[in-house]
Chain A
């Protein structure tokens, strides 16, 4: 019975995940795309919970679906509505080539993983109740992966400084770019 319930939740989460993923890339309005991405991230958090990754699921909802998407929505609101019709004008060469390339990536990934794993992916290791809990994640982060932890903090600091520099108004008006010789130099002479 519990097995059936897990299968049902899995199907619902996968359907929501793949459906909202397709919705993200096919909406014209970027605001709707961002909303669809929030649904995608939330259904992925459900899949993480089914995989015994409680802490990652909580971090996904807090950091991704919360903080990052709020930033996205602020920027989309700042830019205003700029529609970008993805399917306008019928299928062009570029559209077809993109679809073929994405399909090729899908086939490659599935074929390589299937060939490399065989049927070994069906007998997973048995894990205790503490697997993926915040206590275990924290213990591993601060012992075996301390370098990754510190490097992550430096990356975030650099990104924050870069974001402030990119987003701040320039203090002085930028110097005029040098006019290409012989093209625009006639304005002041006459």
Chain B
């Protein structure tokens, strides 16, 4: 394979995953928390595709496509919840969203 080894790709995936984890832990706005979750899922996807290349087997790419579909579903439900919060005049701050009574 031309270019760097698969191990370097996996290292980049680990960096990406921990960046997303930092965002989830640090940010208060649920929108940014969702965006950070996307970064974490993409780090996992990069590791899956890199290891699929390592084994020469497309099963990892199939799993990555499934993860993308599940991420799209998660975004739909998460954004629906955020819009419902905003419509209910709730403050968009994960530290203050302690009651989900609607």
Contact = CB atoms under 8 A, between A and B. Distances in A.
Contacts of A137: 58, 61-62, 65
Interface in B10-49: 10-12, 14-23, 25-29, 31-32, 34-36, 38-39, 42, 45-46, 49
Contacts of A165: 80
**Contact count band on A:** 35 or more
A7 B52 CA distance: 20
A53 B52 contact: yes
**Contact count band on B:** 35 or more
Interface string B43-79: 0011001101111111101101110111111111101
A25 to B, nearest CB: 3
Contacts of B82: 75, 79
Contacts, number: 235
Given A102-B18, A121-B54, A127-B53, A44 B81 contact: no
Interface in A42-87: 44, 47-48, 50-53, 55-56, 59-60, 63-64, 67-68, 71-72, 75-76, 78-79, 82, 84, 86
Closest 4 A-B residue pairs measured CB to CB? A125-B56, A166-B80, A25-B23, A159-B73
Interface of A: 2-3, 6-7, 9-10, 14, 17-18, 21-22, 24-25, 30, 33-34, 37, 40-41, 44, 47-48, 50-53, 55-56, 59-60, 63-64, 67-68, 71-72, 75-76, 78-79, 82, 84, 86, 94-95, 97-99, 101-103, 105-106, 109-110, 113, 117, 121-122, 124-127, 131-132, 136-137, 140-141, 144-145, 148, 152, 155-156, 158-160, 162-163, 165-167, 174, 177
